[in-house]
Amino acid sequence: MSAVAEAAGVSKWYGEVLGLNAFTASFGTGITGLVGPNGAGKSTLFKLLIGQLHANQGTLQLLGENPWNNVPMMRRLGYCPEHNQMYGWLSGQQFVEALLRLDGMPAAKASKEASAALKVVGLSGAAHRPTRTYSRGMRQRAKLAQALAHDPEVLILDEPLSGADPMARVQILRTIADFAKDGGHVLMSTHVLYEIERITNNIVLIHNGKAIASGDIHAIRALIDEHPHAVRFETSQPRQLAQALARMDHVVSLEVPAEDTLVIRTRKPDAFYKELPGIVADTKLEVRGLESPDDSLEAVFRYLVG
């Protein structure tokens, strides 16, 4: 297979708002990252790829087929949406099980596979808790579990790391990498380049609904490193965490804008994300979640698009 997904001149409008603007790109085998700031059109592209939106213009293929109204193809996909939450009263186990039953899996098998998938994403301990009691990172992992539990050929992951805590990020990235190592294909969106860089070199950059660059990540790394990368932490101990992170020589600024928030800027995001889980584990500081405001990436895109 040469390309898992291909888009040729795809446009999508929401009324007068342009979601995708003649988007053309090819997503190869293995893991491909779709990187762009919020509102760039990442979710729109993924919704088109899973057949839940219909393109106004252009052609789109996933696994060699047109995804629009292509119900049988859904068996071959695992989709992890960014925002969706299916019934908070369901436990993680029930949530994954219910979706596996929709694939036509027998009840006993669905139960077993749901447990296995939740174990893979590290949610076994919370499998029987209602998902409304989950942290954002736990919900992301539950959604990842449902996406991969039915053994799809392609995983389409919309910001799977959004809001996840450092340990959850490690777990999610490891699960995605294992899936790809086992022959699966992954299309993953993020607005944080450094996250995807840890598991693949193949990226497509999207901005204002257009693919502005694609291919090897290293070509734009130097450019990106010129712009300090911001990370916002949600923690009950922002000052203690700031003290711990200040030891990294590549951290250029620390800011506590609210009682439960810490914002840092680093010139070496890859090193930062690599060292972070160790620091958090060693200091035993509570980190409820972290995310990267996309202003640093925005600067790079502004440069790329002139």
Partner 1 sequence: MSISLPTYTRREMPLLGRRHRLRAIIVTGLRREFKRPATIVATAVGVGLVLVSSIVFVLFLGAFLPGQARDLSFFFVPASNGAILFFVTLMASVVGSALIADDLNSMALTLYLSRPITHADYLIAKAATLAPLISMIAVLPLVLTPFVAALLGLFSWTIALEAIGLSVLLGLLFTAFYTSVTLFLSSLTTRKSYAAAGVFAVTFGLTIPADILSSSIGNSALLYASPWEDYLALARAAFGASGNQLDWPWALAILLAATVVASLATYLRMKAVEVVSG
One DSSP character per residue, 146-165 reads HHHTT--SEEEEESTTTT--
Based on CB atoms, which residue is closest to partner 1, 22 or 116? 116
CB of residue 46 to partner 1, shortest distance in Å: 9
Q: Which residue has the tokens 């204002």?
A: 208
Query: Is 43 among the residues that bind partner 1 (CB under 8 A)?
Result: yes
Strand order in the sheet with 17-27: 17-27, 5-14, 57-62
Query: Is 170 among the residues that bind partner 1 (CB under 8 A)?
Result: yes
CA dist., res. 87 & res. 143, Å (int): 12
Query: Is 259 among the residues that bind partner 1 (CB under 8 A)?
Result: no
Between 176 and 215, how does the x/- string for binding to partner 1 read (CB under 8 A)? Answer: --xx--xxx-------------------------------
Comparing CA positions, the residue from 211, 191, 190 lying closest to residue 21 is: 211
Among 1, 2, 72, 222, binds partner 1 (CB under 8 A): 72
Based on CB atoms, which residue is closest to partner 1, 187 or 263? 187
Query: Is 1 among the residues that bind partner 1 (CB under 8 A)?
Result: no
Which one of the spans 48-56, 205-213, 241-249, 294-302 is the region binding partner 1 (CB under 8 A)? 48-56
CA dist., res. 57 & res. 11, Å (int): 5
Based on CB atoms, which residue is closest to partner 1, 13 or 260? 13
CA angle (255 as vertex; 33, 135 as ends), nearest 5: 55
Backbone phi and psi for residue 265, each to the nearest 5 degrees, phi listed first: -130, 135
Based on CB atoms, which residue is closest to partner 1, 148 or 251? 148
Q: Give the contacts of 292 (CB within 8 A, at least 6 positions apart).
A: 191, 192, 229, 230, 231, 232
Helix 136-148 and helix 166-181: axis angle, to 10°?
A: 10
Q: Contact residues for partner 1 (CB under 8 A)?
A: 14, 38, 42-44, 47, 50-54, 71-72, 74-75, 77, 79, 81-87, 89-90, 98-99, 101-106, 109, 113, 119-120, 122, 146, 148, 150-151, 158-159, 167, 170-171, 174-175, 178-179, 182-184, 277-278, 281-282
